[in-house]
Structure 1
Amino acid sequence: MTAPQCPVAHEVFDQQYMRDPYGTYASLHEKGPVHRIMTPEGFPAWLVTGFEETRDALADRRLVRSIEYAGEDYRTLPLPAEFSTKTVATEDGAEHMRLRKFMNKSFAIKRVRALRKRVVELTDGYIDAMGESGETDLMTAIALPLPITITGDIMGVPDEDRANFQYWTDSMLGINTEVVREAGATMLGFLKRLIDDKRTNPGDDIFSDWIAWTDDDGKHLDDHELIGLGFMVLLGGYDTTVGMIGGGMLALLNDRPKLERLRANPEQIPDAVEELLRLYGTAHTGVRRFATEDMTIGGVDIKKGDVVLCSMGAADRDPARFENPDEVDLDRPNLTHIAFGQGPHYCPGSELGRMEIAIAIETLLRRLPNLELAAPADSVQWREAYLIRAPKAIPIRY
């Protein structure tokens, strides 16, 4: 017997969802943990929204990312092959682990902690540039430039190329196929040029490391694999952090008592970040997975080749798991979330993201005692995308 299933896509990933998905999540939770949908790209899929079901599905090795397991209904976006095959995000098993070792080494705890001073200096510098008082957009003042600069630093990207990050990621996370195709081709050309430059002029950056390092068999990464790793760092290392800083600060600015509590007790900020990640983690819908065999998720039968989408954004607001799931609770007991995923594809840059978010919040609260929203929170517009969510602008007064 199958669980109740929700209507198809136009009633799930519609304009209302793009503006505010949380009402949609609440409705889906009332109907069950798994739902039959049609994606904006035009192929049918199963959307998993229950916390337990999503967590288990993310770790289930019967659900893979390799397109070779896709059923006949699947349609892919027109991304270059270097972005959609032979990448750490699209491979599974031994090949995934081979590529993952390069990524894990790049984001080792010691290396991430060494970036702390740089993150602090940048954040202070952005606030210095704002002046002693006035109004500005929090996204363009801090939430955007901080992750862009850190990602550019660790990748060794020239300053003049970093301005393209936002255009590339916004375009490729949309659903307009022509825009996706154009942005993908432009970004591919950039990554090819960057690799050529790093081969000739290696530096203290992860691209130079990837070129120099070898796997357990002594083999170097080929250009296809290097491009795939670079693509994932750009997409995951920059864009998700932008949304988390913006969404987290918007929530606090809209809840003055909690903001003042953290201002008075900055040692509580790291724990608060976990609650904000639960509520405003930006990776709302995970990368598509394909069932390698007939299986059951949440009482629903999934056929071999079916597409499964795991909604971390919905799962982290599941009322079956969290009391008052839509509220910021700085004292939430036994807090766990899956904002960074679960299982073999868990985000390798999670600690860097946490550090950037915590430093941004701590510095803003410490440096700007009069910080407040300059417009109602419900007037803030969000980027229209169903995969990664972020505010377009957050007007602030300080």
Structure 2
Amino acid sequence: MATSGNFYSTHVGEHPGEPNLADPELVADPYGGYGRLREQAPVLRARYLDGAPIWLVTRLDEVRTVLSDPRFVNDPSVLADAPPTASRRAFVEGMGIPEDLAPYLFGTILDLDAPDHTRLRKLVSRTFTVRRVGELRPRVEEITERLLDELPARAEDGVVDLVECFGYPLPITVICELVGVPEEDRPRWREWGRQLVPPDPATLGSILRAMVDHIADLIKRRRSQPASDLLTGLIRTHDEDGDRLSDTEMIAMVLTLVVAGHETTTHLISNGVAALLTHPVQLELLRSDPSLLPGAVHELMRWCGPVHATRLRYATEDVEVGGVTVHRGDAVQPVLVSANYDPRHTPEPERLDLTRRPAGRGESHVGFGYGIHYCLGAALARQEGEVAFGALLRRYPDLSLAVPAEELEWLPIPANRRLARLPVRLGG
């Protein structure tokens, strides 16, 4: 499938024999490329985007081990005496991010470890409980139906881009309503999210500054006009017990929830629709039996989920993983896509099968992560996927790709799988 130029490849080829996450083979064909690495070894030497040495962890058992073992941490600052690896400071400097904005990128719930991660997660977890998400379902269905109503008018020569007209607006609307971003502000959030991936060093600093300033203004407005949303709850927690949630943490939390809360779901929906339209047997199976939708979302997340690797983890002591000794201070990259295709756990992993069910309790894939950093919004993302796939197939039974599958354009972003656009014909 086609990809455009890749600006991440600066350090590719500097260390022959050690794959770099930006290797063209891995970016263009992550399933085959990481699959070959997985069959070489469960843990092997590689290079991060900045050329720093890392360990790739490729098999499901070992990925789960790293993601659940407290000896592997997200925040490398606890290892001040260890050799620096894949420095976040280097990223900040290389991307032109002002120093005062760095905490909003790297001091978030995604980067922290216990007990700070636990403290922050408790503050927002009640918003994403299965019960709370279930109460949101009628609103998610209402938003979905409205977007589907608008698709014919958005088509040009009978073709509509589902990424732009459906994949993006559904989750950004839902997460903004949940968090408390006013409707008039949502278009700019959508544009900011689009500009952040992939990041452009020429604009990243100014975009981040605009987002932080906007959230600070939104917090000021919410203090004078409280509402029944997550932001009001965070403000109340901050004002009643400032030691539990700092100003920086509150802004970083909103930034993380809105961006992470719509970007991944956008591409789960878009990737999933593309997968269904290129697998007619599975498509017809789902159309004929909507009860398969919950399991189908899990299988699509395993088979074509948008996030292929987690944030780096750092060993706080020497740890043996997959027969390899990972030394204190070493950076470790769990690879979700190769773990999700591990034939030791998933029979015929290359085959899309919407009837798959986990062999035991819990999920058979790590598309939503694992351990304490398991995706906070997983239940919401699954629900949005169920509603989106079900309603789209019901409303447009003759939906089809408007271009051959091999001409779909995939963004050349390492460790991600995202369509630039998804042109379809609605039919009928």
- What's the TM-score, normalizing by structure 2? 0.86
Q: CA deviation at 1:113?
A: 1.3
The equivalent residue for 1:268 is: 292
Taking only aligned residues, the RMSD between alpha carbons, in angstroms, comes to: 2.3
Query: Matched residues in 1 for 2:103 and 2:48: separation?
Result: 23
Which residue, 375, 394, 399 being the options, matches 1:347? 375
Which residue, 21, 25, 45 being the options, matches 2:30? 21
Q: CA deviation at 1:374?
A: 1.1
**Is 1:311 aligned to 2:335, yes or no?**
yes
Instruction: Answer whether contact 2:71 2:316 (CA < 8 A) is retained.
Output: yes
The equivalent residue for 1:378 is: 406
Query: Matched residues in 2 for 1:143 and 1:198: separation?
Result: 29
SS, match of residue 136 in structure 1: strand
Which residue, 332, 337, 355 being the options, matches 1:331? 355
Q: Where does structure 1 lack aligned partners over 5 or more consecutive residues?
A: none
Question: Partner letter of residue 21 of structure 1?
Answer: P
Instruction: Answer whether contact 2:238 2:246 (CA < 8 A) is retained.
Output: no
Which residue, 184, 187, 196 being the options, matches 2:208? 184
Which residue, 212, 220, 223 being the options, matches 1:199? 223
SS, match of residue 332 in structure 2: strand
The residue correspondences of 1:21-60 to structure 2 (distance < 5 A) are 21-60=30-69
* 1:329-350 C-alpha deviation (Å, 9 max, x unpaired): 1232425111111111111110
The 3 A distance-change label for structure 1 pair 166 and 27 is: farther
Instruction: Answer whether contact 1:365 1:371 (CA < 8 A) is retained.
Output: yes
Query: Matched residues in 1 for 2:67 and 2:414: separation?
Result: 18
The equivalent residue for 1:101 is: 122
Q: CA deviation at 1:379?
A: 1.3
Instruction: Answer whether contact 1:58 1:342 (CA < 8 A) is retained.
Output: yes
The residue correspondences of 1:221-300 to structure 2 (distance < 5 A) are 221-300=245-324
The equivalent residue for 1:368 is: 396
Q: CA deviation at 1:170?
A: 4.2
The 3 A distance-change label for structure 1 pair 216 and 386 is: farther
Taking only the aligned residue pairs, the percentage that are identical comes to 34
The residue correspondences of 1:151-190 to structure 2 (distance < 5 A) are 151-174=175-198, 176-190=200-214
SS, match of residue 367 in structure 2: coil
Instruction: Answer whether contact 2:129 2:379 (CA < 8 A) is retained.
Output: no
Instruction: Answer whether contact 1:291 1:305 (CA < 8 A) is retained.
Output: yes
Query: Matched residues in 2 for 1:124 and 1:176: separation?
Result: 35
The 3 A distance-change label for structure 1 pair 168 and 34 is: farther
The equivalent residue for 2:87 is: 75
Which stretch has the larger CA shift, 216-225 or 72-81? 216-225
Q: CA deviation at 1:58?
A: 0.5
Which stretch has the larger CA shift, 12-21 or 297-306? 12-21
Query: Matched residues in 2 for 1:86 and 1:175: separation?
Result: 18
Q: CA deviation at 1:184?
A: 2.3
SS, match of residue 216 in structure 2: helix
Question: Partner letter of residue 196 of structure 1?
Answer: K
The equivalent residue for 2:10 is: none
Instruction: Answer whether contact 1:212 1:220 (CA < 8 A) is retained.
Output: no
- What's the TM-score, normalizing by structure 1? 0.92
Which stretch has the larger CA shift, 25-34 or 49-58? 25-34
Question: Partner letter of residue 420 of structure 2?
Answer: K
* 1:24-71 C-alpha deviation (Å, 9 max, x unpaired): 122212211122221223322112111111011110100011131353
Question: Partner letter of residue 72 of structure 1?
Answer: P
* 1:215-250 C-alpha deviation (Å, 9 max, x unpaired): 997845221110121122123211110110011111
The equivalent residue for 2:8 is: none
